[in-house]
Structure 1
């Protein structure tokens, strides 16, 4: 990220343009959908303490997907915030974080599976607990991908929005509690036609001993015309030379 962007504090979010659609992902559940190029999602932590695990695949060719390693390496960062983009494994930009009130989203912590959640929170089932059953993030994301002909083997490293995980000098990961407050939000602009899958299950490193997921709201709006592109002076595009190349690669795909 450019020095100017690093030095700035996170400004308030801009007023929303006309809203295309809205959806609330209830606590401990999951959601997926196709988000078209040029659309953006304002994603809001309704109650505070949310975790939103996410994976992204290019709609037309799901083998192209969000790549955590390339995303962090290209932008010389270990977390995500305003001005950062999400790269695919083809060197293209699938989405950009254009606004952010938090300043830190986790890209390292991964997603919890059934065994981890059972050890941590105890066993649960729909027969016993109905909609209050415990759902883990990995199975939730796999269920959403299955709706589009994908499977658990298509799961790769995910993003955990609203969560902060600090990296120690010894390589240890520390989950920071109380990071996201009620109303915390960010804008995620999509640069490709994208299959987005989300889970609101707790972060796998969250030390809270009680299963207490939180709901998240999605607000979709048009960021630029369907046949358009990101302008040359866009802050995400000009954040670093790697991002400029990533946007050029993306624009060529849609030329």
Structure 2
């Protein structure tokens, strides 16, 4: 018996049937935001990716209380520079993510800062499961990268803590309706995977909502006054100013 996809017409019908069955929910626009640059609901076991400009605000939301957002970030104009979770913990002297925490690159620059956090259940220690890494690989492939570019990730909405004896303890979710907002300091490739946390005894995952919009004015005021953060921010702003100057000079030379 021939497969339903064994002909062009059969393959088209099958593809349209799959599309019709797919959920196409778009997250609501946050209050006070007029225009979004990204709005997507990531179902369990899936990934999403986007290039976001400097000055973007990226909101991750856990509407049902079971999402686990594994995040990698790469500089859009220099993908060899990417999120480094070891430095993200080491430089601010804090292993647990929360409001005011910078997400640092391996070059000591701030790729993003957590500006608000209503969850408090996050993790920079455990990374992803094999299934999560497989989805992350699909995401980085979209930007010309491969398995060598998959570094340890930061995870949001499912937490872990280290006990006094060094053991890792899973703290689970903070419940439905929590959000985390990131302010983007350099143009970045964002890759998000919604997959179980490695320590979660229940593999069930629910939707992850992602919304981004322009918030350039927020770059003018440091999120925190901690000296380590301010040094990393100075590093970042110097790099951005130099890059803009180089582009401007190149443009003038061509006119």
- Runs of 5+ unmatched residues, structure 2: 1-29, 242-255
Q: Deviation per CA, 1:193-212: give whole Å up to 9, x if none.
A: 1011111110011012xx31
Partner Cα separation in structure 1 for residue 60 and residue 117 of structure 2: 10
**What is residue 185 of structure 2 aligned with on the other side?**
191
Report if the CA contact (8 A) 2:121-2:174 is conserved.
no
User: What do you get for the CA RMSD once the two structures are aligned?
Assistant: 1.5
Question: 2:123 touches 2:154 (CA, 8 Å); kept in 1?
Answer: yes
Equivalent residue, structure 2, for 1:248: 234
**Aligned pair 1:97/2:89, yes or no?**
no
Alignment partners' CA distance in 2, 1:103 and 1:174: 15
Per the TM alignment, residue 80 of structure 1 is displaced from its structure 2 partner at its CA by 0.5
Is 1:216 the counterpart of 2:208 in the alignment? Answer: yes
Structure 2 counterparts to residues 24-173 of structure 1, below 5 A = 24-113=41-130, 136-173=131-168
Q: Distance in 2 between matches of 1:19 and 1:75?
A: 33
Q: 2:223 is paired with a residue of what secondary structure?
A: coil
Compute the TM-score of the two structures, normalised by the length of structure 2: 0.79
User: Equivalents in 1 of 2:72, 2:210: separation in Å?
Assistant: 15
- Greater RCO, CA 8 A, separation 6+: 1
Q: Is 1:18 matched up with 2:34? A: yes
* TM-score, length basis structure 1: 0.79
Structure 1 stretches of 5 or more lacking a match? Answer: 1-13, 114-135
CA distance in structure 2 between the aligned counterparts of 1:107 and 1:184, rounded to whole angstroms = 18
CA distance in 1, matches of 2:70, 2:32: 24
How far, CA to CA, are the matches of 2:115 and 2:232 in structure 1? 16
